[in-house]
Amino acid sequence: MDLNTKGRYAVMAMADLARNGGEVAVPLTDIAGRQQISLAYLEQLFQRLRKAGIVDSARGRLGGYRLARDMDAITVADVMAAVEEPVVMTRCQGHGSAGCVAGDRCLTHDLWDALGDHIAGFLGSVTLKDILDGRLGPGRSGLAQPTGVAAE
């Protein structure tokens, strides 16, 4: 899986905003400092997040960003989609009969495609609230267990 900094940084910044925001707008400079992410990079990410309706911006002396929805209504998949971070495990472009190797589907195409679906399903089930509440460790209280993995 090729998860680049765009998706990781967007999720880190959104978790920070969920933790430190609320009714008060949080300046990107504060998030950039706490998360050690370039302010210019965060500005690009938050433009996309605002366009997707995940955050609202406020101008002025007390300006910054706040969540546009409750943190339990924003999934990691929502954030990654907003910043155009696909969850693709295969090397081919798209689903279907498109070829991976020399115009043909590779032998393991269905395996990687199914894994990508599981990852996308997991990311779609995890909300910002789940992250802040620490519900992602062993047992993940309340989140669906992957097949074949026993909860502790």
Strand partners, 26: 65
| pLDDT for residue 45 | 97
CA dist., res. 49 & res. 16, Å (int): 14
Residue 135 in contact with residue 142, Cβ under 8 Å?
A: yes
Residue 108 is predicted with a pLDDT of 82
Answer whether residue 67 shows pLDDT above 90: yes
Residue with tokens 């209504």: 73
User: Which tops the pLDDT comparison, 97 or 57?
Assistant: 57
Determine contact, residues 65/17, Cβ cutoff 8 Å.
yes
